Amino acid sequence: MAAVKMVSHLVLGAMLLSWVTLVHVTCPEGFPQTTCPEGCPGQDCPEGCLQPTCPEGRPQAVCPKGCECLEGTRIVNCSRLGLTSVPSGIPTNVQQLILEHNNIARVSKEDFANLTSVESIDLSDNKLNSQSIAAGTFDDLPSLGTLDLSYNKNLDDFPAYLPSNLTYLYFISNSAVHVSADAFANLTEIVHLDFSDNKVETIAPGAFRNQQKLQVLYCDFNKLKDDGIPPSVYKPAKKLQNLGLRFNQLTRVPVDLPVGLQALDLVGNHIIELPSKAFLNLTELQSLAFWEQPSLTTIDDNAFYGLSKMQGMDASSTGINKITNGTFNGLSGMGELVLGECKIPDIPVGAFHQMKSLATLWLDGNLLKTLDPGVLDRRFLSHLSEVYLWGNPWTCDCHLRWLKEHIDSNNTAPTVDSPHVMTCNAPTKLKGRAWDTLTAEEFVCGMDI
Distance CA(345)–CA(320), nearest Å, equals 10
Query: What is the end-to-end Cα distance of the chain in Å, rounded?
Result: 96
Q: 260-268, long-range: CB within 8 Å, 24+ apart, which pairs?
A: 260/284, 261/285, 262/286, 262/287, 263/287, 263/288, 264/288, 264/289, 265/220, 265/289, 266/290, 266/293, 267/291, 267/292, 267/293, 267/314, 268/292, 268/293
DSSP string, 390-442: TTS-EE-SGGGHHHHHHHHTTT-SSEEE-GGG-BEEESGGGTT-BGGGS-GGG
Give the three-class secondary structure for 12: strand
Q: Are strands 312-314 and 360-362 parallel, antiparallel or unpaired?
A: unpaired
Mean pLDDT, residues 204-230 taken together? 98
Please report the pLDDT score of residue 207 as a whole number: 98
369 by Cβ neighbours in 10 Å (0-12 / 13-18 / 19+) ranks as: middle
Conformation bin of residue 436: beta by default, left when phi > 0, alpha when psi is -120 to 50: alpha
Distance CA(238)–CA(257), nearest Å, equals 9
DSSP state of 226: G
Among 285, 286, 234, residue whose Cα is nearest residue 257 = 234
Question: Considering the entire predicted model, what is its pTM?
Answer: 0.86
The number of C-alpha atoms within 13 Å of 257 and in the hemisphere containing its C-beta is 25
Give the three-class secondary structure for 376: helix
Please report the pLDDT score of residue 182 as a whole number: 97
Distance CA(232)–CA(96), nearest Å, equals 37
Element (H, E) at 387: strand 386-388
pLDDT bracket for residue 449 (50, 70, 90): low
Share of the chain above pLDDT 70, in %: 86
Distance CA(82)–CA(168), nearest Å, equals 26
Mean pLDDT, residues 168-193 taken together? 98
Q: Is residue 379 predicted with pLDDT exceeding 70? A: yes
CB atoms within 10 A of CB 174: 26
Residues linked to residue 107 through DSSP beta bridges, in sequence order = 133
Distance CA(72)–CA(89), nearest Å, equals 15
Amino acid occupying residue 363: L
pLDDT tens profile 47-89: 444 344 444 444 456 899 999 999 999 999 999 999 999 999 9
Q: Is residue 330 predicted with pLDDT exceeding 70? A: yes
Q: Is residue 261 predicted with pLDDT exceeding 90? A: yes
Amino acid occupying residue 343: K
Q: Are strands 17-19 and 10-12 parallel, antiparallel or unpaired?
A: antiparallel
Task: Give CA angle at 144 (6, 117), nearest 5°.
Answer: 45
Q: Is residue 369 predicted with pLDDT exceeding 80? A: yes
Residues linked to residue 345 through DSSP beta bridges, in sequence order = none
CB atoms within 10 A of CB 414: 19
Mean pLDDT, residues 231-248 taken together? 98
pLDDT bracket for residue 20 (50, 70, 90): very low
What does the mean pLDDT of the chain come to? 89
Least reliable range by pLDDT among 2-11, 83-92, 128-137, 384-393: 2-11
**Which residues contact residue 293 at a Cβ distance below 8 angstroms, ignoring those fewer than 6 apart?**
266, 267, 268, 269, 270, 271, 317, 318, 319
Q: 417-420, long-range: CB within 8 Å, 24+ apart, which pairs?
A: 417/386, 417/387, 417/388, 417/389, 417/390, 418/388, 418/390, 419/390
